[in-house]
Amino acid sequence: MAIKILGTTVIDDSRNFTVAGINGTYDNLQPNLTTITTVISFNSPAMNRVMTGSQSFSIANDSRGATCSLLLDTTTSNHTPTFPASLFWAGDATPVWSNARYWLITFIGWGGGNVHAAATGYD
């Protein structure tokens, strides 16, 4: 049996979701991946960026308890990302971006414009 909200089917009989920004089925729900340029927005739960040079990122739409992730490719040129001073890295240490090409960065809104982040690099 389909589930509807205000007359709109949000889960069909095959357990497929039809909600904006989400895809998948009930047992395999995933956010849509958004390609970004320089703005990390908490309105997009999963983002990716292939850097074409060293660049500065900004943060938008953060709120206490909100989370989002960025899949970052610094490419074989090891481009260096820069983040605002309101971003606090786990362990109080900015990652060494030249240690890996690919990075998974998770951001957590801390309130008051502050964001905490943790990054894991891999090749």
27: CB partners within 8 A, 6+ apart: 15
Instruction: Enumerate the domain spans of the chain.
Output: 1-30, 32-122
Distances (CA, A) of 117 to 48, 77, 88, 106, 109: 16, 24, 6, 5, 9
The two structure tokens encoding residue 17: 């979701």
**Token pair of 13 as six digits:** 């009989």
Rounding to the nearest 10 degrees, give the CA dihedral for residues 103, 49, 118, 77. 40
The structural architecture, per CATH, of the domain 32-122 is Sandwich (2.60)
C-alpha–C-alpha distance, residues 93 and 73, integer Å:
20
| Residue-level pLDDT, tens digit, the chain, 123 residues | 788 888 888 778 887 777 666 666 666 677 889 999 999 999 999 999 999 999 999 999 999 999 999 999 999 898 999 999 999 999 999 999 999 999 999 999 998 889 999 999 998
Cβ proximity of 31 and 22 under 8 Å = yes
The answer for residues whose C-beta is within 8 angstroms of residue 83's C-beta and 6 or more apart is 56, 57, 59, 117
